[in-house]
Structures are given as structure tokens and as C-alpha cells.
Amino acid sequence: MKQLRHYINLKILSLVVFVLFSAFAKAYTTYDPCALLTSPVQGATDVGVTETIFFEDIPGAVSYFVDLGTTPGGIDILNNYNAGSTPQFTAPQGFPESTLIYITIRGFFPSGNTVSCDAQFFTTENNTLPPGCTEVVSPINGAVDVSVSTSISWSYAPRATGYIINIGTSPGATDVINGQDVGNTLTFTPPFDLESDTTYYITIIPYNENGQVTTCTETSFTTEVIASEIPECTQLFSPIDGAIEVALTPLLEWFPVDNVEGYLIKIGSTPDGDDVLANTNIGLTTSTPVIDFEEGVTYYVTITPFNAAGQAQNCTQTSFTTTLGCGPYTDGITGEMVDLNPVINLEDSYEICEEQSPLQLSYPDPYESIFWYEIIEGQQQLLSSDPNIAITQTGTYLLEVNEEAMVEAGFVICTATHMFDVTISTAPVISNLVISNQGATASVLVELEEEGNFEFASGNPAGPYQASPLLQNINPLDIQVYVRDIGGCGMDSRVIRPDPGFPKYFTPNGDGINDTWQVRGVVVNGETVTSIEIYDRYGKRLKTILPYGIGWDGTYHGRQLLDSGFWYKANTASNVIFTGYFALRRQ
């Protein structure tokens, strides 16, 4: 009996294990990693044509790809569309209305595998609304320098099934493209190049079977400027034409020209040859280094500027011969860098004061020959062949030094050049002060005879200084203005103080007493007044009077002014200026 119970228990345990194993195996073998639609659900109807689609997340998937079509597995609406890493997407151009749409969702895994699910479906609504507006996304509104062969693209307009495009050269115009129906696409390329340097106005009109929307915002862009004339020629200035003993790793430099889009450089070891560099576009740069020319070889160089109109014609070819030993080059035995060329220790730019001594420059080392040049309109004009030079004019200058050096084959002449700029700074000269009332304070605009690199201060010649010529919050009873050159090339100043010789008010009421306003005497505090300017409280000049006349009667262009406060500025023969307030009272 005991054995029977043991046998029955074993049978029951086996049965339980079998049931659990079968359930697990069934769950494992029937696990489906596909994503079901959650909104709209499978088989849904009246789905909005702009609705966002949501579906289940697939565990482990890092991104999703979607096909949309009007047949199972179809791709006529979307083909392998990348929906990103979240389980949702919005069709870039919406859905067609009243249509049975099939959707296939694929999950992509880090291993590179893709799980493709069976197609699901839903039916879209019968849309009864016209489309919404769209917006041009390229070129952006207000863009400049746009290519004349540009394409135009815009964003999807909700519920649109097609688009009409207008292009004109003035707001609202259609003189370029007039109402062209481009279908259900978001890009249009004009069938011809647009005009250069022209502003175009774009209107996109979305439509569907329920109508079109014509109130979308018009945008505009301006095309690039394309040159209509070919540029002038240029040529090397370093190395100069015919130069010898040029470094094996030189910097080639040429004069810039206007109206260019780039330069073509051709280098050959024979006249008009291109075995080193064949008419290569190096952009807008005006210099280029060359690595390891061969020793003792004459090279021929042509620089050809170009733009959209074409290339410069018949540009002059220059030549130079590389050194036999000046360097720089690597010594084949020691491995050291050899450079026997002169060393020029000059700055790239200098600034001198007009009233100070000339700029004194010198080359202190031994030399075979030395030349100082001024560059005028691209040409070198010899100034001196001495080691010292005094420069007094603004300009661009070039120093060339030739030095004898010994190499294995004997003596060679090594050459170095250095170009630098010189600028003359002039001392500031104040021509006028424009004073404006600011209530209890005043502002002063400093006007100068010539522009320069100047800074401005008030109240103290030690500063603080500012870059703006408009000085504010100044005591109107003691105006002190100082202007100095930033480079230390001089200073100018003006001092303006009020004086009791000027009446504080007048009463132009026709009673013959104090009917005009005038300074009391031509000489005030030892200064001879030459003229007086009268301003209203807003800084508007109303009248200029002379100190020996009858004065100001309180009118402006024949119209009597109301009671108010006014400014005066009295100019003197020694440039001292008096300023202050006075009142007009008619009662």
C-alpha cells in the first residue's frame, strides 16, 4: 500500500512538471516581438489625415522604420521611413483621405538585426477642411547671397494634397513663376537660373479638394552677386621676378586684386610649364608656402585671378631660381636645419606721431647690399640703399637684404625680405562742441576737424577716457573737455564756464524795458565775445547773435516763443566758451 502511494505521488509530480514545462515552452515559442498599433488601433476608421501614430515599444529595439502603403506591404506613401527611437511618428506629408492604409513597423536592434512585423491597417477620415498654411524653410526669409540655381523647399501644410507656387521680383508679383502647380511635393527647383543680385518674393499656396489657402506669409531672399567683368591680372612680389638664391621652402606672395573669387596658380620648371602645379585654385588667399623646391632650379609662376565672368587674360609670368645652399634645408649629414639667409628683425607695423621725429629704422648686421622700398600701387619704389632710414609718411614698405654666405661650391648671395606698414597719427583738433541740456546736467558732443584713433574725457585731463565723443552728465557750470590720441600723439581741450555778464532773464512784452536778451559788453572776464548761439531746452539752435547788436527778441522764424528756459553758448576770440541758462518771461 505504501509503494502504491509513492507511485501515485511520483505520477502527480511528473504531471505538474510536464504542465509547467509545456506552459513555459508555449509562452517562449509564441513570444511576438512585434509592435501593435495603440493609436489608432488596428482596423480603426475616421483617422485624421494629420494624426500622429503610436505603437507598442519593442524591448531592445533602438530605432524604428515604417512603411505605409495602400496595399498590404505597400510603400507608395512611405518607404522605410526612419521614425527614430520612440514608438511614434507623424507622416511628413500626412495621409490621403478616405483611404485604407497599411502600416508595417520594423524594430532595429544594436546587433544589426531587424524584426519586421505583419502589416496592420486603418482607414482615414473624409476630410472636409481646406489645408493649413505652410512656411518656406529654404532659402530662409531674408537670406542673402543665395545661389542663382537654388531650390525652394517648404514645410508640410496640414491636410494639403498639393501646392501652387508664385515667384516674383516685387512683393505679391508673379513675373517669374505664375501659379505653377507642383503637386504634392515639398521642393521646387526653377527650370532656369535666377538673376544675380536680385530679391525674389515667394508665396506657397497649399490646396486640397475643399479649397486652397491664400493667406500664407510671403517670404523673400536675395541672390548672390555674380561678377560681370573679369578681374585684372596680378603677379608675385615675393620672390621678386628674376630673384636668385630663393629658399627651397619659400612663401609665394602676390598682390591682391579686386572683383575676384579666387586665384589659380601654375608653377613649372620650364616657361609656361605646369609640371609642379597645374593651374590650381587656392581660393582667396594671396600667399602660399611651397615645400622643398629643388636646388638651383629656375621656376616659372603665373597667378591668374578669376571670378564668375571668367579668368584674367594674359597675366605676366614671373620666375626665380632656388638657392644652391642658402636654405632653409636639412643637412643630409648632420640632419640639422641650414638657413644662411639674413635675419630681419622688424615689426609688421609701426605708428608714428605727425609732430614727433621720423620713424628711424636700421639693419644692424653685415650685408652685401640692402634696399628700402615703398610699395606704391603695387610697384616697388626705391627709397634708400643705406642700412638706416627715416620714414615720415604713411605707407607700405619693403626691406630687402642680400648677404654673402659660404657654401661647399663657394660663395652665394642669400636674400631676405620683409614688408611692413607705417601709419601716421595726427594730434586731435576740436572744431566744435554741441551742448545739450539734460536737466541739472549737460551732454557734450565733441566734433573734430579730422577723424583719428582718439579717446575722450571730461573734467580731468587724466581721465577716465572713453571711445565715444558723446560726453554725458557734465556740470553745465564747468564744462571741461579733453581729447587725446590713443597712441600718445597729442591732446586738445576746451573749457566752458558760465559768466555773470549774461542776463538771467528778459521780458519781451513791448514795454521798452528789457525787451531783448544780450550780453553786457563785448569783453567778459577778459575774453572778447565774437558770437552767441541760443538753444532751446531740447538742444535746438534758435538764433546766433553778435555781441554788438540789439540781441534776441524771443522769436523763432517770426513767431513769438512762450515763457521757457534757454541755453546760451558764447564763443570768444581765444576759443574760451561761456555757457549758461536764462529765462524768457512775457508777464
pLDDT at 539 over 90: no
Which architecture does CATH list for 430-496?
A: Sandwich (2.60)
The Cα–Cα gap between 580 and 575 comes to 16
User: What is the band of 299 on the pLDDT scale with cuts at 50, 70, 90?
Assistant: very high
The confidence score (pLDDT) of residue 12 equals 46
Each residue's pLDDT tens digit, 439-478:
557 788 999 988 888 999 998 999 899 999 999 988 766 7
The Cα–Cα gap between 501 and 529 comes to 11
DSSP string, 446-486: EEESS--SEEEEES-TT---BSSSEEEEE-TTSEEEEEEET
Cell 506591404: give the residue.
73
The secondary structure of residue 110, as a DSSP letter, is T
pLDDT at 25 over 50: no
The confidence score (pLDDT) of residue 418 equals 95
Nearest-CA neighbor of 564 among 437, 469, 376? 437
User: First and final CA of the chain: distance in angstroms?
Assistant: 140
The Cα–Cα gap between 492 and 446 comes to 11
Is there a contact between 428 and 492 (Cβ–Cβ < 8 Å)?
Answer: yes
The secondary structure of residue 549, as a DSSP letter, is S
Looking at the domain that runs over 37-123, which CATH code has it been given? 2.60.40.10
Is there a contact between 87 and 64 (Cβ–Cβ < 8 Å)?
Answer: yes
C-alpha distances in angstroms, 380 versus 51, 288, 383, 397, 419? Answer: 74, 21, 9, 9, 11
User: Does 349-425 match 430-496 in CATH topology?
Assistant: yes
Q: In what order do the strands lie in the sheet with 53-55?
A: 37-39, 53-55, 88-89
The Cα–Cα gap between 116 and 127 comes to 31
The confidence score (pLDDT) of residue 10 equals 42
- The torsion angles phi and psi of 374, rounded to 5 degrees, stand at -105, 135
For the segment(s) 136-223, the CATH number from 3.30.70.330, 1.10.357.10, 2.40.128.50, 2.60.40.10 is 2.60.40.10
Domain 505-584 belongs to what topology?
Immunoglobulin-like (2.60.40)
Higher pLDDT, 22 or 513: 513
Give the largest CA-CA distance in the chain: 151
Looking at the domain that runs over 349-425, which CATH code has it been given? 2.60.40.10
Give the global pTM: 0.39
User: What is the band of 1 on the pLDDT scale with cuts at 50, 70, 90?
Assistant: very low
Q: Amino acid identity of 378?
A: G
Higher pLDDT, 34 or 120: 120
Class of domain 236-338: mainly beta
Do the strands 564-572 and 527-536 form a parallel or antiparallel pair, or are they unpaired?
antiparallel
The confidence score (pLDDT) of residue 18 equals 41
**Average pLDDT, rounded, for the chain:** 86
pLDDT at 29 over 70: no
Q: In what order do the strands lie in the sheet with 410-425?
A: 349-353, 410-425, 395-407, 369-376, 379-384
C-alpha distances in angstroms, 255 versus 231, 244, 250, 285, 381? Answer: 13, 20, 16, 10, 15
- What share of the chain in percent tops pLDDT 70? 91
Q: What is the mean pLDDT of residues 10-37?
A: 49
User: What is the band of 291 on the pLDDT scale with cuts at 50, 70, 90?
Assistant: confident
User: What is the band of 407 on the pLDDT scale with cuts at 50, 70, 90?
Assistant: low
Each residue's pLDDT tens digit, 155-180:
998 899 999 999 999 999 999 999 99
Is there a contact between 543 and 508 (Cβ–Cβ < 8 Å)?
Answer: no
Burial (0-12, 13-18, 19+ Cβ within 10 Å), 49:
buried
Each residue's pLDDT tens digit, 61-70:
999 999 999 9
SS3 296: coil
> What pairs with residue 105 in β-bridges?
66
Do the strands 379-384 and 369-376 form a parallel or antiparallel pair, or are they unpaired?
antiparallel
User: What is the band of 257 on the pLDDT scale with cuts at 50, 70, 90?
Assistant: very high
Domain boundaries along the sequence of the chain: 1-31, 37-123, 136-223, 236-338, 349-425, 430-496, 505-584
- What share of the chain in percent tops pLDDT 90? 53
Q: What is the mean pLDDT of residues 243-271?
A: 89
